[in-house]
Amino acid sequence: MPYLFTSESVSEGHPDKVSDQISDALIDNFLAFDPNSKVACETLVTTGQVILAGEVKSKAYLDVQEIARGVIRKIGYTKSDYMFEANSCGVLSAIHEQSADINQGVDRKKKEDQGAGDQGMMFGYATNETENYMPLALDLAHTLLIELAALRRENKAIKYLRPDAKSQVTLAYDDNNKPVRIDAIVISTQHDDFDSEAKMLAKIEKDIKTILIPRIIKKYPAYKHFFNDKIKFHVNPTGKFVIGGPHGDTGLTGRKIIVDTYGGKGAHGGGAFSGKDPSKVDRSAAYATRHIAKNLVAAGVADEVLVQVSYAIGVAKPMGIYVNTYGTANVEMTDGEISKAVEALFDMRPYFIETRLKLRNPIYSETAAYGHMGRKNEIVMKEFRSPDGKVLKKKVELFTWEKLDYVSKVKKAFKIK
C-alpha cells in the first residue's frame, strides 16, 4: 500500500549543531596532539555564552576557548546583531580529568582486549534507494540545507540569510516500497529583518522555489525526477525568523541523533556521537555497523539492511550481532544465518573497529553537521595549532565507514558472483 515518509535536517547554524561542532572540534584537537586521548565533551550554547563540560584523559593541552570561537566563526556567527558572536561570546570551561573507574574498564595490557567504553546497543542501516545507500528523504533534507548554506556564504543570489535553518522532506512511496516523488518540503530559515513581514515571506518563498530548488536539480541530477509541480511547500510557516541560533534556542551536544543517522529509518540505539572519542562504542560501533550494512547492500546480500551490535562496559566482545533484511534478502539464508556470517567477517571488538576504520585520527569535525552517514570518503590535510604556537599538519581519511572495501569479501562469504 502506498505511504508517505518524512525526514528532517538542521543546518550547521542550528544551536544543537553549533554545540556538536564545538564538541567535535575539541575531540579533533585532542586526537591530533595525542591520538590516545580519551574524551567525553559536552557543549551548551545560549545567548552570548558557551559552556564546555566533560571528562578528558590526554597529554595534550588546548586553548579550548579559541577552538570554540573558531568553530563559531566558521559557522558564520560573526555579527553582533545575532546576539551570539564568535569574538564576544563568553566561553566557560568545566572540563576535568576522566574517572579512573571508567578508564580501568577500557585500557588493557593487550590492545586487542580493550573493553567497550560503555554498555549499550548501536545500529547501522543501508538501503539501495540512493547512490550513497542512504534513505532518500534524509539525503534530500541534508542537500537542501547544504545548498542553502552555500548560497548564504556566496551572498550573491540571496543576501539576507542567517546561519540557523531547518528542512523537512516528505516522500511518497509506491506499493513496492520505492520512492516515487516528493510530496512536501518544509524550509525554515533565519534571515535579516525586513520592513514588511508579508514582503519578507513572499521573497523568501520565491527565492527557495526559483533559486534553491533549481540549483539542487542542476547539481544533483539523480534527484531530478522526484521533483514535480505538485509539491506542497511550507517556507518559514511561522512567519518572521530573525531571532535564531543560540539566541533563539539553547543548544546542547547530542540532541540531533536522528538527523545524524538515518532520519527515522532503520533504528537508533539512543547514544549520541559528537564529543566522544572512539573508545566510546556509541560512536565507533555505530560507524562500524553502518560500514557493515552498506557493504552488505552494495554486495547484493539484500536491498535494505539493519545491523545491531550490543556491548557491556569494559568487555571487548559484543553481546550479540543482529541483522534484519526486512524480507529483501537476495541470498537463500535466514537473517540469523546472515548475522553469523557477518560476525565471522567483521571483528567488532572496539580495538579492531578503531584500527579498521582509522578512528584515532582527527576526523570528527566534518561529521558534526549534515549527518555522520552517507558522506564522501576522502583524504584531506588538516591543520591544528597548540597554545604555544606549534602548528601540526596532518593528512587524514574522512568517513572511512562509508568505504565499500568489504564488498568482495562479502560476496565471497555469501557466494555471490
233 and 259 assigned to the same domain: no
Q: Average pLDDT across each block of 10 residues of the chain; the chain has 417 residues. List them in order.
A: 96 98 98 96 98 95 96 97 96 85 60 85 98 98 98 97 98 96 98 93 97 97 96 96 96 98 96 96 98 98 98 94 98 97 97 97 98 98 94 97 98 95
Whether 86 and 103 map to the same domain: the answer is yes
Question: Does residue 260 sit in the same domain as residue 387?
Answer: yes
One domain, residues 124 and 141: no
Q: Which domain holds residue 215?
A: 3-10+135-242
CATH of the domain at 261: 3.30.300.10
Does residue 83 sit in the same domain as residue 150? no
Do the domain assignments include residue 114? no
Q: Tell me: do 270 and 395 sit in the same domain.
A: yes
Q: What is the pLDDT of residue 101?
A: 55
Residue 92, domain member (yes or no): yes
5 is in an annotated binding site: no
Antiparallel, parallel or unpaired: β 49-57 and 38-46: antiparallel
| Euclidean distance between CA atoms 172 and 4, whole angstroms | 5
CB neighbourhood size of 123 (10 A)? 22
End-of-domain residue from the set 242, 265, 287: 242
Per-residue pLDDT, 198: 92
**60 annotated ligand binder:** no
Q: Is residue 247 part of a domain?
A: no
202 domain-assigned: yes
> What does 155-178 look like in DSSP terms, one character per residue?
TSS---EEEEEEEEEEEEE-TTS-
Do 86 and 196 share a domain, yes or no?
A: no
Query: What is the reported pLDDT for 117?
Result: 82
Query: Do 400 and 302 sit in the same domain of this protein?
Result: yes
Query: What's the pLDDT score for residue 203?
Result: 97
Has residue 115 been placed in a domain?
no
Is 280 marked within a binding site? yes
- Ligand-binding annotation for 14, yes or no, is yes
Task: Provide the grid cell at 189.
Answer: 530559515
Q: Which of these, 94, 5, 49, 62, lies nearest to 362 by C-alpha position?
A: 62
Q: How many domains does the chain have?
A: 3
CB 216 within 8 A of CB 143: yes
Residue 394 assigned as binding residue: no
Indicate if 309 and 399 belong to the same structural domain: yes
Q: Is 49 annotated as a binding residue?
A: no
Q: Are residues 181 and 95 in the same domain?
A: no
409 and 326, same domain (yes or no): yes
- Known binding residue 42? Answer is yes
Is 192 labeled as ligand-binding?
no
**DSSP H or E run through 412:** helix 407-413
pLDDT recorded at residue 47: 97
124 and 142 in a single domain? The answer is no
Q: Which residue has the cell 524550509?
A: 187
- Check the annotation: does 285 bind a ligand: no
